[in-house]
Structure 1
Amino acid sequence: MSSVYSAKTGLSSILKTYSPAERERAKNIAINKVRFEMPKQKGILEAVEAVNAHNNFQPLNEFVAFLKETELSDAEFLRVMTDAHKLIYDLSPKFTNLVEALISVPWAKREPAAIQAYIEFYIDIMVAHNKYVQFGIPKLISLWIPADADVAHWPNGTPIDNVKTELEAIHDLLNRILTAIPMSFEVVLEAIENRFPYYKKSTHVIAGYVHNMLWLIEYKPIFVEFVMQLLMQKLVILDVNAPRSEIEETEGDDDEELEEENEDAEIFEMDDCKKAEEDDLLPMKHVIAHTLDVCMEKMLNFLDAKNPNILNASVEQRLEMNKFWKVLLAAFDNVILPCHNTHHVQFLVFYYCSFKHTIAEAFLTSLWDKIKNPNVSAVIRQAAVGYMASFLARGKFVPLPTLKYYLKELCDWAHQYIQRCDQYRQNGSLKANIVFFSLCQAVFYVIAFRSRDLTSDRKSLLFLQSLQLSAIVTCNFNPLRVCLPAVATAFAGVTRAYQLAYCHAILERNARRKLATVYANDTATPEETLDTFFPFDPYLLKMSEKKISTNYLQYQASEAEEASIVATHISPMQRRKRGDSEMCDDIDDFIVADKRQKITDLARSQEREAQFTYGLSPGFHM
């Protein structure tokens, strides 16, 4: 039998240009020639015999070429696999090329008999010759990856029925291999990581692979820790390549167009709701953000299945859920916490914590243990402070006693730090005391953000008084000087409204000092301000946002604070003179929409508002 590679096709030179039709005709001639000669010899049995008896590899090479180049019918495929199964123990490592060609033949879309023949051969060859596991399992994992053209078969990263049936056979085979060959676990881990699609691949390709990874840990929970950490790593890559500013800019174009349309035509409320629902079904215009959105939706649905509040859960299920929480927390600690300025992936932990108060408390305890541990790096401690503050502020499910407990703990730590540093006369620079300054800003932020809850009754006001906030504000470190202006101004409004501390004089003095520094150096120097981000800022992904919003808290100022803010806002604006502090320009960020509308004619804070984009702003203006 002539080799498919040596079959003459009439091509005189590889440099000569041929039309696609001529190239296809030449290919068919070669394939048809091999197909014609195939039945004249005994195929794989004859090829293997020639090697073992006469060390003649030519028939084997021709048969391998035939397998690679020819689309086998189900009947031919069944015959080849049946014959190959008879040679299981003869296919030693010198037949590696043949075995690799056999397991690479497409099989998942064939008739049941052909699929069963392939599975039997695959399992037996791997068990008989463990060497083949090294390339056999990666071939299997590769079948998880949807083809670029299969977008219609993977709506929102979920396979349609016939694709799901094919994948069931693939996962069943992988499950049986993992059970039969324990050493294959390491190979699976390496293959899963190496074959994860590039982050710029089509949404259905990445989401389809994520779907299969989550499927794997359903029947092999031993992989859950590795898979969750790998998924976190890959989602973080998507997250950082879809910056909040880009998403807002890209998606904002649609909002502007919609507003213009609404100005020209009156839309009934029901029509408006219907259009909003339709918009939610549309993919996000930012391609990577859309991929992240679909993947986050799959992850959140997966977490739903791990909800510890599932009714009638057995003792064993509850133990498994407890283990899963530890895995999720470890993935957060190892992957997300050290990453700066991620926007959405951390909401996986936020969402899981919303299931049960004890889980939320466990998360806060984990953060607090890091914050107060001097052996943990300052970078991680500062990040943990940011997560705790944002979690306490935004988590609608965080009960008031828990909120008060951690405010008390944070303030006690701050008071002890101040006393200790006063005793040893420690350097008061931002860098040397980064954890202290971050913690103070967290206290100011949480009190300002949750002021409605923390000032709702006399008991709560007495609690705030017990925190001795004035001692923190007026200490030698002067923490207000390094806080974000938005946080400092909002906190000052709350403390003034309820006579907890008097911050405005300090803010004015800090502003004058900064101004004096600029004039003294002739040039503007960078202000010493905390590098802060608020990890649970508003969620921007359209599809998966629905699961987050039910447990997400928007800012609501208390009535007394609103009155104080309005008074503070109007008075200086009416009588400001050249050289006065500009701090009052920040106040508009914290006035809720209806209050802001009443003083629009007096406010000149539009430019300042533009500076406080999410990620830099605590979100009080939401």
Structure 2
Amino acid sequence: MSVYSMKTGLSSILKAYSPTEREKAKNIAINKVRFEMPKLKGILDAVEAVNEHNNFQPLNEFVAYLREAELSDNDFLRLMSDAHKLINDLSPKFTNLVEALISLPWTKRQPPALQAYAEFYIDIMVAHNKYVQFGIPKLISLWIPADGDAALWPNGSPIEALKTELEAVHRLLDRILTAIPMSFEIVLEAIESKFPYFKKATHVIAGYIHSVLWLIEYKPIFTEFVVQLVLQKLVLLDVNAPRSEIEETDYDDEELEENENAEIFEMDDCPKVGNIFAFLISLTTTDDDVQPMKHPIAHTIDICMEKMFNFLNTKNPNLLNASAEQKLQLNKFWKILLSAFDNVILPSHNTHHVQFLLFYYCSFKNTIAEAFLTSLWDKIKNPNISAVIRQAAVGYIASFLARAKFVHLPVLKYYLKELCNWAHQYIQSCDQYRQNGSLKANIVFFSLCQAVFYVIAFRSRDLTVDRKSLLFLQSLQLSAIVTCNFNPLRVCLPPVATAFAGVTRAYQLAYCHAILERNARRKLATVYANDVATPEETLDTFFPFDPYLLKLSEKRITLHYLQYQASEAEEASVVAGHRSPRRQRKRGDSEMLDDVDDFIVADKRQRNIELARSQEREAQFTYGLSPGFHM
């Protein structure tokens, strides 16, 4: 009974239908209206009825028929042939008809039908530009794999049959972009708006990225937009797959124990043999041998990163016999990639894997790596850039210098010298004006100091290899930085401070342990004052090139990635009987937490016993994440 009849007391004249009866009546109406009458009259009669008699009923019935019918290749070919004859008559009042025609399934049809569709599509778009607004998004939507087509997209790449279908779509888009220059803006909007939601199935996102990268093969003008858009989407995936979740999901206790046991048999005395062995393993390991990530978003970004690494390989500047034009294009691509890093990755907080695209591309050529470092250093020095970006740049330059095997020692020393000179100048200028010494007011300085400590501790084996290198470290005047009024060690992450203190003590560069002890006592006094927990300030540090956790794509990074190794002098200082067994640790824990004793000279072992208590107190107040001293 309707609301009106309830108010008036009259019974409703409307007959109530059950859902089954309603669906049956709907099917009868569809069969009567959409499959019989329109098919007899056809598109020619429907258009003629509108133009001659202003009668839209046959047209509406024919449009409804097109939206429901399953046409054979012959019917489809005849329909496109008839529609092509009417192109000049299909003015904007026939928008519904044109939209229905170009929405018909066409990619799986025979070549003559494909050709007929393409000719109609191009000619209707050229004749009536208004239809481009929905015509191009219809093409872009064909890039999106269906949810149930995972088997057709192994590791994010289409099988041959599907690749042939996509090729027809891209060929048609190429033609429309050439014929209608105004369509470029519409393509940009459509690509961005059609990008799948980040929680969609892996093959859906990776398949769409596959076509987006395919676009710039025949239309390089889209390169800047595509690279930046894809990085934005990868960052979104990356931040939604936290490192802690990946470790819990994909690295269980048994695997961690296997990794621990494997470390016992590493070829420490034969590093060259070990590197060759690792290289041979990477060659014989296929993608089929790698188990997919259990974390769903991590699996998606793993597949997408593999696709991006393959894409970067096509832009390798070491291509043999590259022409002058190709070299110019590759140089332009590097600038586009660096700009996308500055605009998308650098300002993003807590990404874990996307930044390795820059790491991988820098491994191609030393000049690219040096250009990347120069770009970061210019940002750090520029006081007009926000402190947040400058701090992020410090984290990137420190992590890159520590982890990149392809960064030569002279480059490493150059940037250590530049960083230390900047720190000394900052200390002198602040002493002159007596500025505020808080962490917030001097965040760039404190971040830079920790970066210096981190790089020296991490690369100590290379930086202490001979007398010349030790003289270089002495020239940095590290003691002046450590003992300045800012006391940078108080805000450093404890593993970084402890590791740096061990290196400087071993080579008599600075004496940090007394400062660490004093800082630890101050923290205790602060925490227990008035029974209120107010811990000392600690840097919120980000080490962007910490170990890569994605299983399929990590092979691209392994050969260029530096694992932490203590210096020979520090290793010689270890007294085996005084070392406690290694605790089982998760992947991602600091290497320094296991190897603190490696940084202490044997002849000062007695003092270490006294220092241990203060270090234990200090460890209670560890607020930062791992500084990246990973195996």
- Band of TM-score, shorter chain: 0.7 to 0.9
User: What corresponds to 2:594 in structure 1?
Assistant: 588
Q: Give me the whole-angstrom Cα distance separating, in 2, the residues matched to 1:490 and 1:257.
A: 24
Deviation, 1:40, is: 2.9
User: What corresponds to 1:40 in structure 2?
Assistant: 40
The question of 1:71 aligning with 2:73 is answered no
User: What corresponds to 1:245 in structure 2?
Assistant: 244
Q: Give me the whole-angstrom Cα distance separating, in 2, the residues matched to 1:33 and 1:328.
A: 56
Amino acid at match of 1:419: Q
Report SS of the residue matched to 1:385: helix
Map residues 562-601 of structure 1 onto 2, 5 A cutoff.
562-564=571-573, 570=578, 588-590=594-596
Amino acid at match of 1:588: D
> Pick from 512, 518, 522: which aligns with 2:521?
512
Deviations 1:496-545 (A, max 9, x none): 00011111111111111111112223222132000101000000000000
User: What corresponds to 1:474 in structure 2?
Assistant: 483
User: What corresponds to 1:300 in structure 2?
Assistant: 309
Mark the CA change 1:433 to 1:34 in structure 2 (over 3 Å): closer, same or farther: closer
On the 8 A contact 2:506/2:570 being kept in 1, the answer is yes
Q: Give me the whole-angstrom Cα distance separating, in 2, the residues matched to 1:255 and 1:586.
A: 22
On the 8 A contact 2:380/2:391 being kept in 1, the answer is yes
> Pick from 438, 444, 450: which aligns with 1:435?
444
Deviations 1:239-287 (A, max 9, x none): 0110000000001237459859x99xxxxxx9xx999978952211100
Query: Once superposed, what is the RMSD of the aligned Cα atoms?
Result: 3.2
Mark the CA change 1:254 to 1:122 in structure 2 (over 3 Å): closer, same or farther: farther
Amino acid at match of 2:109: R
User: What corresponds to 1:596 in structure 2?
Assistant: none
On the 8 A contact 1:493/1:564 being kept in 2, the answer is no
Q: Give me the whole-angstrom Cα distance separating, in 2, the residues matched to 1:319 and 1:475.
A: 48
Amino acid at match of 1:296: M
Deviation, 1:608, is: 9.9
User: What corresponds to 1:532 in structure 2?
Assistant: 541
Q: Give me the whole-angstrom Cα distance separating, in 1, the residues matched to 2:216 and 2:501.
A: 50
Deviation, 1:621, is: 4.3
On the 8 A contact 1:103/1:136 being kept in 2, the answer is yes
Mark the CA change 1:276 to 1:177 in structure 2 (over 3 Å): closer, same or farther: closer
User: What corresponds to 1:211 in structure 2?
Assistant: 210
Report SS of the residue matched to 1:110: coil
Report SS of the residue matched to 1:18: helix
Mark the CA change 1:314 to 1:25 in structure 2 (over 3 Å): closer, same or farther: farther
Deviations 1:545-577 (A, max 9, x none): 00011100000001212344669x959x9xxxx
The question of 1:465 aligning with 2:465 is answered no
Report SS of the residue matched to 1:501: coil
Q: Give me the whole-angstrom Cα distance separating, in 2, the residues matched to 1:590 and 1:183.
A: 64
User: What corresponds to 2:406 in structure 1?
Assistant: 397
Q: Give me the whole-angstrom Cα distance separating, in 2, the residues matched to 1:592 and 1:167.
A: 57
User: What corresponds to 1:556 in structure 2?
Assistant: 565
Amino acid at match of 2:363: S
Mark the CA change 1:247 to 1:134 in structure 2 (over 3 Å): closer, same or farther: same
On the 8 A contact 1:586/1:608 being kept in 2, the answer is no
Map residues 91-240 of structure 1 onto 2, 5 A cutoff.
91-240=90-239
The question of 1:445 aligning with 2:454 is answered yes
Deviation, 1:439, is: 0.3
Deviation, 1:34, is: 4.2
Deviation, 1:89, is: 1.0
User: What corresponds to 1:375 in structure 2?
Assistant: 384
Q: Which runs of 4+ in 1 moved over 6 A?
A: 273-279, 602-613
On the 8 A contact 1:74/1:110 being kept in 2, the answer is yes
Report SS of the residue matched to 2:536: coil
Report SS of the residue matched to 2:382: coil
Deviation, 1:619, is: 2.6
Q: Give me the whole-angstrom Cα distance separating, in 2, the residues matched to 1:371 and 1:215.
A: 36
Amino acid at match of 1:124: D
Mark the CA change 1:26 to 1:423 in structure 2 (over 3 Å): closer, same or farther: closer
Instruction: State percent identity of aligned pairs.
Output: 76
Map residues 319-468 of structure 1 onto 2, 5 A cutoff.
319-468=328-477
Q: State TM-score, norm by structure 2.
A: 0.86
Mark the CA change 1:359 to 1:587 in structure 2 (over 3 Å): closer, same or farther: same
The question of 1:616 aligning with 2:619 is answered no
Report SS of the residue matched to 1:209: helix
Deviation, 1:108, is: 0.5
Mark the CA change 1:124 to 1:430 in structure 2 (over 3 Å): closer, same or farther: same
> Pick from 525, 532, 535: which aligns with 1:523?
532
On the 8 A contact 2:527/2:535 being kept in 1, the answer is no
User: What corresponds to 2:20 in structure 1?
Assistant: 18
Amino acid at match of 1:88: I
Q: Give me the whole-angstrom Cα distance separating, in 2, the residues matched to 1:257 and 1:458.
A: 39
Q: Give me the whole-angstrom Cα distance separating, in 2, the residues matched to 1:258 and 1:375.
A: 49
Amino acid at match of 2:80: M
Mark the CA change 1:106 to 1:570 in structure 2 (over 3 Å): closer, same or farther: same
Amino acid at match of 1:54: H
Deviations 1:352-373 (A, max 9, x none): 0000000000000000000000
On the 8 A contact 1:557/1:591 being kept in 2, the answer is no
Q: Give me the whole-angstrom Cα distance separating, in 2, the residues matched to 1:24 and 1:399.
A: 76
Amino acid at match of 1:183: M
Q: Give me the whole-angstrom Cα distance separating, in 1, the residues matched to 2:124 and 2:339.
A: 38
| Stretches of structure 2 lacking an aligned partner (at least 5 in a row) | 1-13, 263-276, 581-590, 600-604
The question of 1:55 aligning with 2:60 is answered no
On the 8 A contact 1:280/1:542 being kept in 2, the answer is no
Mark the CA change 1:318 to 1:303 in structure 2 (over 3 Å): closer, same or farther: same
User: What corresponds to 1:579 in structure 2?
Assistant: none
Q: Give me the whole-angstrom Cα distance separating, in 1, the residues matched to 2:558 and 2:245.
A: 21
The question of 1:543 aligning with 2:552 is answered yes
On the 8 A contact 1:382/1:434 being kept in 2, the answer is yes
Kindly tell me the number of residue pairs found equivalent between the two proteins.
579
Mark the CA change 1:177 to 1:277 in structure 2 (over 3 Å): closer, same or farther: closer
Amino acid at match of 2:193: N
Report SS of the residue matched to 1:342: coil
Q: Give me the whole-angstrom Cα distance separating, in 2, the residues matched to 1:611 and 1:89.
A: 77
Amino acid at match of 1:288: I
On the 8 A contact 2:34/2:62 being kept in 1, the answer is no
User: What corresponds to 1:290 in structure 2?
Assistant: 299
Report SS of the residue matched to 1:106: coil
Q: Give me the whole-angstrom Cα distance separating, in 2, the residues matched to 1:128 and 1:461.
A: 75
On the 8 A contact 1:586/1:609 being kept in 2, the answer is no
On the 8 A contact 1:496/1:564 being kept in 2, the answer is no
Amino acid at match of 1:93: P
Q: Give me the whole-angstrom Cα distance separating, in 2, the residues matched to 1:327 and 1:403.
A: 26
Mark the CA change 1:621 to 1:563 in structure 2 (over 3 Å): closer, same or farther: farther
